[in-house]
Amino acid sequence: MLHFVRHAEAVSNAAAHKHPKGSAERNAEYQKQEYFNAALSEKGEQQAAEMGRNRLRELLSEGPLPAEVTSAHSGKNLCIVSTLKRTLETARIGLAHATTRDMTEAVLVPELAATEETQASSEEASSEEAFAWVATDAVREWAEGEHHPCDYRGSLRDDGVAALYPQIDFSRCADADPIQANEPLGSVHARIRELIQLVDEFCGSSLAKPRHVVVVTHSAFLSELWSAVIRDEAEKQFANCQVRSLPVAEFLQKAEKALLQE
């Protein structure tokens, strides 16, 4: 199964959402340089954890597959994640909570008790074991012609992402931000094709296919993906931490049809 996730609330979202949608004041918040490559807000961190504990955990643990399907999906689950801070943090927190048991029982059973640091370390290890992690700029946000510093990043080396997220493979990413200001729609469609190729690489021809693929990305990118590939205008809007799922085969079939019509 393929699960598309919009990131949790970022500090830029929190500031902008104080103003009416479509207002000049709301757009002005997104244009502030202080929100360059915006991190999650405190509420966003809580959203990511709740999404992982509930929705993602439920999706990742849905009933056993038939033997012939299970044998064909013998690889690790896969997380494809945007290189921006808010998506990296949503993926890290969300999948950590989705792949570990509820630790509240430790409060009642002394021998299970653990410090917050130990618990966090255990959660990180569990998600690292359950998933292969791939970062890509292909699923980055589209600023739709606006000047939004939150939608851009600095150098991966200078930002120290390898040390911050050692479980994530950044080898497919350029060190400098490859996405320029005023990115045209054609460039976004090229990035959608990159995502399709990546899903096909891991799920179409790979011998060890992942059972679940989680794509952690952004609202405008998801909206355009739904319009161009899924062809479902009614479902193209995603709230923070909203998850929509479909079979990988269905996605690739829709993608092939969309590419033929270009």
CATH code: domain of residue 190: 3.40.50.1240
Evaluate whether residue 16 is within a structural domain: no
Instruction: Give domain status of residue 217, yes or no.
Output: yes
Residue 215 lies in a domain: yes
- Number of DSSP helices (H) and strands (E) in the chain, helices first: 13, 6
Residue 70 placed within a domain? yes
Cα torsion 170, 171, 172, 176 to 10°: value is 70
Q: What is the C-alpha separation between 128 and 137, in angstroms, rounded?
A: 21
- Can you give the pLDDT at residue 258? 87
Q: Is residue 177 part of a domain?
A: yes
- Looking up tokens 């045209």 gives 184
Could you report the per-residue pLDDT of 46-62, keeping only the tens digit for each?
999 999 999 999 998 86
Residue 30, in any domain of the structure: no
Q: Is 17 domain-assigned?
A: no
User: Binning pLDDT at 50, 70 and 90, where does residue 112 land?
Assistant: very low
**Residue-wise pLDDT tens digits, 118-176:** 445 545 556 667 889 999 999 999 998 889 999 999 999 999 999 999 999 999 999 99
What confidence category does residue 204 fall into, taking pLDDT thresholds of 50, 70 and 90? Answer: confident
Report if residue 183 sits inside a domain: yes
* Owning domain of residue 75: 2-8+39-260
- Percent of the chain at pLDDT > 70 equals 82
The per-residue b/e assignment along 124-161, b for 16 or more CB within 10 angstroms, e otherwise, is bebbbebbbbbbbbbbbbbbeeeebbbbbbeebeebeb
Number of domains the chain is built from:
1
